[in-house]
Amino acid sequence: MDACSGELLGLTAAELAALMVDWGEKPFHGRQLYGALYHRRQLDPGSMTELSKDLRQKLASCTITLPRLQRRQRAADGTEKYLLELRDGAKIECVLIPERKRNTLCISTQAGCPLDCRFCLTAMLGYKRNLSPAEILGQILYVLGDKNLEVVSAAGGSSPALTNLVLMGMGEPLLNLENVLKSLSIMADPLGLALSPRRITLSTVGLVPQMRELARAAVVPNLAVSLSATTDEVRDRLMPINRKYPIDTILQACADFPLKGNQRVTFEYVLMAKVNDSDDDARRLVKLLAHLRSKVNLLPLNPGNANGLRPSSPRRVNRFREILTGKGLPAYVRRPRGMDIHAACGQLHLAPDQPSRTTRTSRLDTIS
């Protein structure tokens, strides 16, 4: 084979080695290509000087596709939101949160979302499709290669560094599990993107069969579960997926999830006034999580959400947290980042000029 017309990004070391064998090359050239793509982030075959000139010419006819930037917004707190366009015109968002000692990138796993969580703006977009491994990894590579962005590295200085990765952007990661698992293997590979699994967090609404499959995967990230209610009655209204996987089945899957060292399952709890923020809710939450190694992130509902929902008052948020911590349950109030550019949790909704869906239809029947 003299050339290729396929996409190289998203391929594993084994797949690239097999491609080299198909071309009549040695398998180790595939491993060299793998290191160049992911570890050194060389996306131009011409710069891969460890490869022969002949091989570089063959690779020049292959595709290495990053998403295209449509818009980048910077919030007052330094948070950066990227609106990215994929090859077929689908659009996604990812968010970089720079801090003094760490930099967290929040990436998307689907274009839109098929779930219908009432407090999430992304749900209003509807569902378009799953992202490929190339499109998942491409978000990371694009942001790291953004030369106009000054990022404080963990080691000091101003060179780009990524310390934490969260799969909490657009979409439900566990509905795209095959592509997410393949992406995770490349992210966590010391010869790939070299991110520690302990620094990668996957957030889910609680898809129980997929949670159990994730627990058996080669790379197991930190688990975060969006709970946001203490009774099935309330959670059914807020998160219709609860009708398929109610709270007790989710908590059992969390109890069975493998944890190492001081790892805990994180429960995300969006606080909404007079919906799920009462003292009784806090006490029920303590009882629900009593048997789990867990912690709770409390997130006051962010502005811009529909359906008449309102954020809990600061006083109510503090009272809710006091009840949890008073009973020995670790709980933290998460300060929203990037709210002025709609980059905070539940706010990803594309740019103002992008049409949003006005009717919200759940796709529960298609979710297994």
CB 62 within 8 A of CB 45: yes
Per-residue exposure over 59-84, b if at least 16 CB sit within 10 Å of its own CB, e if not: beebebbbbeebbbbebebebbbbbb
From 106, 113, 117, 345, active-site residue: 345
Asked if residue 6 is part of any domain, the answer here is no
Q: What is the 3-state secondary structure (H, E, C) of the chain?
A: CCCCCCECCCCCHHHHHHHHHHCCCCCHHHHHHHHHHHHCCCCCHHHCCCCCHHHHHHHCCCECCCCEEEEEEECCCCCEEEEEECCCCCEEEEEEEECCCCEEEECCCEEECCCCCCCCHHHHHCEEEECCHHHHHHHHHHHHCCCCCCCCCCCCCCCCCCCEEEECCCCCHHHHHHHHHHHHHHHHCCCCCCCCHHHEEEEECCCHHHHHHHHCCCCCCEEEEECCCCCHHHHHHHCHHHHCCCHHHHHHHHHHCCCCCCCCEEEEEEEECCCCCCHHHHHHHHHHCCCCCEEEEEEECCCCCCCCCCECCHHHHHHHHHHHHHCCCCEEECCCCCHHHCCCCCCCCCCCCCCCCCCCCCCHHHCC
Asked if residue 216 is part of any domain, the answer here is yes
Please give the average per-residue pLDDT across 143-160, as a whole number: 53
- Identify whether residues 104 and 55 lie together within a single domain: no
For residue 269, the one-letter residue type is Y
- Identify whether residues 40 and 85 lie together within a single domain: no
Give pLDDT, residue 122: 77
Please give the average per-residue pLDDT across 314-340, as a whole number: 89
For the cut 80, the answer to whether the pLDDT of residue 345 exceeds it is no
Share of residues in the chain with pLDDT > 90 (%): 73
Asked if residue 90 is part of any domain, the answer here is yes
- Identify whether residues 222 and 261 lie together within a single domain: yes
For residue 35, the one-letter residue type is G
- Identify whether residues 53 and 156 lie together within a single domain: no
Asked if residue 3 is part of any domain, the answer here is no
The question of whether 93 is a catalytic residue gets the answer yes
For the cut 60, the answer to whether the pLDDT of residue 153 exceeds it is no
Q: Which of 17-21, 146-150, 186-190, 263-267 has the lowest mean pLDDT?
A: 146-150
At 196-217, the pLDDT tens digits run: 999 999 999 999 999 999 999 9
Using the 3D structure, point to which of 5, 25, 59 is the last residue of a domain. Answer: 59
For the cut 70, the answer to whether the pLDDT of residue 160 exceeds it is no
- Name the range with the highest mean pLDDT among 2-11, 12-21, 110-119, 158-167: 12-21
CATH value at residue 40: 1.10.150.530
- Identify whether residues 148 and 223 lie together within a single domain: yes
Q: Which of 4-8, 124-128, 148-152, 256-260 has the lowest mean pLDDT?
A: 148-152
- Identify whether residues 228 and 331 lie together within a single domain: yes
What tokens appear for 100 in the block? 């003094």
- Identify whether residues 297 and 224 lie together within a single domain: yes
More confident residue, 156 or 244: 244
Give pLDDT, residue 352: 47
- Of the pLDDT bands very low, low, confident and very high (cuts 50, 70, 90), residue 6 is confident
From 93, 135, 172, 268, active-site residue: 93
Mean predicted lDDT score pLDDT of the chain? 87
Q: Which of 13-17, 25-29, 192-196, 305-309 has the lowest mean pLDDT?
A: 305-309
Please give the average per-residue pLDDT across 153-180, as a whole number: 79
Residue 195's domain spans which residues? 68-366
- Identify whether residues 97 and 34 lie together within a single domain: no
At 30-54, the pLDDT tens digits run: 999 999 999 999 999 989 999 999 9
At 287-307, the pLDDT tens digits run: 999 999 999 999 988 766 557
What tokens appear for 58 in the block? 């063959």
Please name the residues in contact with 99: beta carbons below 8 A apart, sequence gap of 6 or more.
Answer: 152
For the cut 60, the answer to whether the pLDDT of residue 152 exceeds it is no
- Identify whether residues 94 and 228 lie together within a single domain: yes
- Identify whether residues 147 and 18 lie together within a single domain: no
Q: Which of 9-18, 19-28, 75-84, 222-231 has the lowest mean pLDDT?
A: 75-84
Residue 54, classified by CB atoms within 10 Å of its CB into exposed (0-12), middle (13-18) or buried (19+), is exposed
- Identify whether residues 233 and 279 lie together within a single domain: yes
Give pLDDT, residue 31: 96
Asked if residue 2 is part of any domain, the answer here is no
- Of the pLDDT bands very low, low, confident and very high (cuts 50, 70, 90), residue 77 is confident
Give pLDDT, residue 120: 84
At 99-123, the pLDDT tens digits run: 878 889 999 999 999 998 998 887 7
Give pLDDT, residue 121: 80
Asked if residue 7 is part of any domain, the answer here is no
Asked if residue 8 is part of any domain, the answer here is no
Overall domain count for the chain:
2
Give pLDDT, residue 78: 84
Asked if residue 4 is part of any domain, the answer here is no
Please give the average per-residue pLDDT across 323-334, as a whole number: 97
Give pLDDT, residue 305: 55
Give pLDDT, residue 4: 63
- Identify whether residues 255 and 338 lie together within a single domain: yes
Give pLDDT, residue 158: 44
CATH value at residue 208: 3.20.20.70
Q: Which of 54-68, 106-120, 329-343 has the lowest mean pLDDT?
A: 329-343
